[in-house]
Amino acid sequence: MIFENSIFLIELKNKGTGGWLSKAIDQLRNTIRLLKLHDNLDRFQYKKAYACNRKHPNFQVMDSEANRKFYRETGFRIDAQAKIDIK
């Protein structure tokens, strides 16, 4: 989803088994890499990536170091959850 100064990437998973979060994060990294090849993402002030799984509706805790690493690598903040509220 793209707005005037924001971009939100959403990776949807529908798996009840483990390992879904790492697969979603890998897919988001790849998507960001491809976007950077074809677009200037610096024009966006807010960049957020979501890994979502409706079969895991409870809050998925992401390690703060993993969050920092993802941000350093991609320039995007990341969150894992089942429901997204964009205001």
Looking at residue 72, its pLDDT comes to 96
Return all residues near 16 (Cβ < 8 A) that are at least 6 apart: 55, 56
Helix, strand, or coil (residue 27): helix
CA distances, 70 to each of 10, 25, 46, 57 (Å): 15, 9, 15, 22
pLDDT in tens, the chain (87 residues): 999 999 999 999 887 777 888 899 999 999 999 999 999 999 999 999 999 887 766 655 677 888 999 999 999 999 887 777 766
pLDDT of residue 54: 78
User: In the sheet that 6-13 helps form, which strands lie side by side, from edge to edge?
Assistant: 6-13, 46-53, 77-81
| pTM of the complete model | 0.85
